[in-house]
Amino acid sequence: MLNNTYLSVTQINSYIKAIFDAEVMLQNICVFGEVSSYNVSGGNAYFNLKDESGMIPCVLFGANKFDAPKIGDMVLVSGSMNYYAKGGRLSFNAYSIMPYGRGLLYEKFLKLKAELEERGYFDIERKKPIPDYVKRIGVVSSDTGAVIHDIINVTTRRNDCVDIVLYPVKVQGVGAEQEISAGIDFFSNYDKVDVIIVARGGGSLEDLEPFNSEVVANAVFRCKKPLVSAVGHETDFTIIDFVADLRAPTPSAAAELVVWDKALKVEKVYSEMHKIDNKFNLCIVNNTNKVLGLVEGYERDVLRLLDKFKAKIEMSTLKLQNIDNLINNKINAVDRLDFNIRKLNPHNIAKMGYSKILKGSSVVLSINDLNHDDIVGLSLIDGTIKAKVCKEKK
Amino acid sequence: MKLEEKIVRMEEISSLLENPNLNIDEGVKLYDEGVVLAKDCLAQLQEVKGKINIIKKDLEVYKEETME
């Protein structure tokens, strides 16, 4: 049933405030939790304290009296719950703040990191190499915001032939780690991508929490494709960075690392072709020189052979000349002999009026060999006659 | 043959051509192969522009669609 009493906003706010102010359990108490945001304004600090299941807004008056905690620090604050009637908000009004060990999230991070390291999730040997010539990249990230656009811009600038396939996921908040893990599993079994980039922009430790989860770490560990993590800023390290095959400091850097520079490849092809051209020309020169060398060798051999033949011919000519001279000498000797023979021919002597006198068979050379009445034979040109010696010796 | 394999083969051809005892027939054969590979590589590098797609799940079936 509707209560017919009408209350103004001020009245209801005053009532709520009175309830909280009267509740001693909420006055002068100490609360511990993790600092998840911290802003100072007008000398007061406004921040949230959180644990696994909830969060409470806090105001610290005179914040400059205390060391400002960092996001993720575990702190202990003293103060009272207060209902701020003017704004209709409940907050914890703190009058002191002090460190309370290390942040739970950070401790959880260190614990999981140690466990996974022990299980071999970070082993260098299991890291898959990033292919040199990636054709398609699977990106697990949010479909809104700057991250996917940064990746697209860098990719298309470096190589306009590379495809990008986005698997859209929540990158923070409830259910994010399951979505990220499902995206990784999807691409792990998807034949149409060569490499996976898991990316998100910078944020608080809580924002990056899904990337520090075991669920995501397991998905990366069982992933069959090379995976690059690009979570947060350069200084942020999350569990996924240790399990991934490669950690990129930012999403843009991930695209730089994965996408091969097309212009460089075109240049490389031209440079290799240029080398092939030069070396082929050298090969032609080498072979031409070899042929020329062979021709020169043959020429030299032929000339040497010709010289040899020439020398032989000259030698033979010389020998022939000698033989000729010998023959001429012989002919001359024969001529001389012939001349002498002719000169000594008895017929020629007979023609001059001389005749040979034979006494018997002996040639008569002296008158003393003849006696009166000796019969001698006289050899004349045309025959022999007998004659009788009739004249006395002188 | 993939682009990377073609480039590696071109590098091989380049070093094979350095052999001073290579005869001209082998040289011509390697040179011709290099020219064909270079043409193929450049053609491959001029392939159609890359696409930007998004995975959509429709009745438990995942499919790629052009990203708006």
Whole-number CA gyration radius for chain A: 66
The rounded percent of chain A whose pLDDT value lies above 70 is 97
**CB distance from B51 to chain A under 8 Å?**
yes
Sheet with B52-58, edge to edge strand ranges: A246-247, A227-231, A195-200, A136-141, A163-168, B52-58, B61-66
Say what the pLDDT of residue A2 is: 57
CA distance B27 to chain A (A): 6
CB of A60 closer than 8 Å to CB of A47: yes
Give A168's contacts in chain B (Cβ within 8 Å). Answer: 54-55
Give A275's contacts in chain B (Cβ within 8 Å). Answer: 14
CB of A252 closer than 8 Å to CB of A150: yes
pLDDT tens digits, one per residue of A109-127: 888 999 999 999 999 999 9
Q: Which chain A residue has its CA at the smallest distance from B2's CA?
A: A133
Q: Which residues in A have their CB inside 8 Å of a CB on B?
A: 132-133, 143, 152, 155-156, 159-168, 186, 192, 262, 265-266, 268-270, 272-273, 275-277, 279-280, 282-284, 286-287
Q: Quick check: A376 pLDDT over 80?
A: yes
Mutation pick from B7, B14, B64 vs chain A, by most beta carbons of A within 10 Å, is B14
CA distance B59 to chain A (A): 16
CA distances to A187, A274, A338 from A192, rounded to whole Å, are 8, 35, 122
The band of B14, judged by pLDDT with boundaries at 50, 70 and 90, is very high
State both tokens at A228.
């690059």
The band of A102, judged by pLDDT with boundaries at 50, 70 and 90, is low
The CA distance from A262 to A270, in Å, is: 12
Q: Which chain B residue has its CA at the smallest distance from A133's CA?
A: B4
| H-assigned helices in A202-261 | 214-222, 239-243, 251-258
Place of tokens 């509740």: A23
The CA distance from A91 to A84, in Å, is: 7
Residues with Cβ within 8 Å of A348's Cβ and at least 6 positions away in sequence, in order, are A342
B45 and A266 within 8 Å at the Cβ level: the answer is yes
Highest mean pLDDT: which range of A73-77, A97-101, A130-134: A130-134
Mean pLDDT of chain A: 89
Q: Which of A245-259, A310-324, A330-344 has the lowest mean pLDDT?
A: A330-344
A155 and B50 within 8 Å at the Cβ level: the answer is yes
Say what the pLDDT of residue A3 is: 64
* Listed residue (A35, A37, A41) closest to A73, CA to CA: A35
**CB distance from B8 to chain A under 8 Å?**
no
Give A133's contacts in chain B (Cβ within 8 Å). Answer: 2-4
The band of A393, judged by pLDDT with boundaries at 50, 70 and 90, is low
Say what the pLDDT of residue A394 is: 59
Give A152's contacts in chain B (Cβ within 8 Å). Answer: 52
Q: Quick check: A103 pLDDT over 60?
A: no
pLDDT tens digits, one per residue of A140-161: 999 998 999 999 999 999 998 8
The band of A227, judged by pLDDT with boundaries at 50, 70 and 90, is very high
The CA distance from A304 to A232, in Å, is: 85
Q: Count A/B contacts: CB-CB distance under 8 Å.
A: 100
State both tokens at B33.
């192969």
pLDDT tens digits, one per residue of A39-74: 998 889 999 999 888 999 999 988 887 778 888 888
Q: Quick check: A1 pLDDT over 60?
A: no
CA distance A141 to chain B (A): 11
CA distance B20 to chain A (A): 7
Give B28's contacts in chain A (Cβ within 8 Å). Answer: 280
What SS3 state is found at B42? helix
pLDDT tens digits, one per residue of A196-215: 999 999 877 778 889 999 99
Interface confidence, given as ipTM, is 0.81
pLDDT tens digits, one per residue of A351-373: 888 888 899 889 998 888 888 88
**CB distance from B43 to chain A under 8 Å?**
no
The CA distance from A111 to A116, in Å, is: 9
Q: Quick check: A391 pLDDT over 80?
A: no
Q: Quick check: A133 pLDDT over 70?
A: yes
The rounded percent of chain A whose pLDDT value lies above 90 is 55
CA distances to A225, A235, A290, B20 from A102, rounded to whole Å, are 36, 19, 81, 70
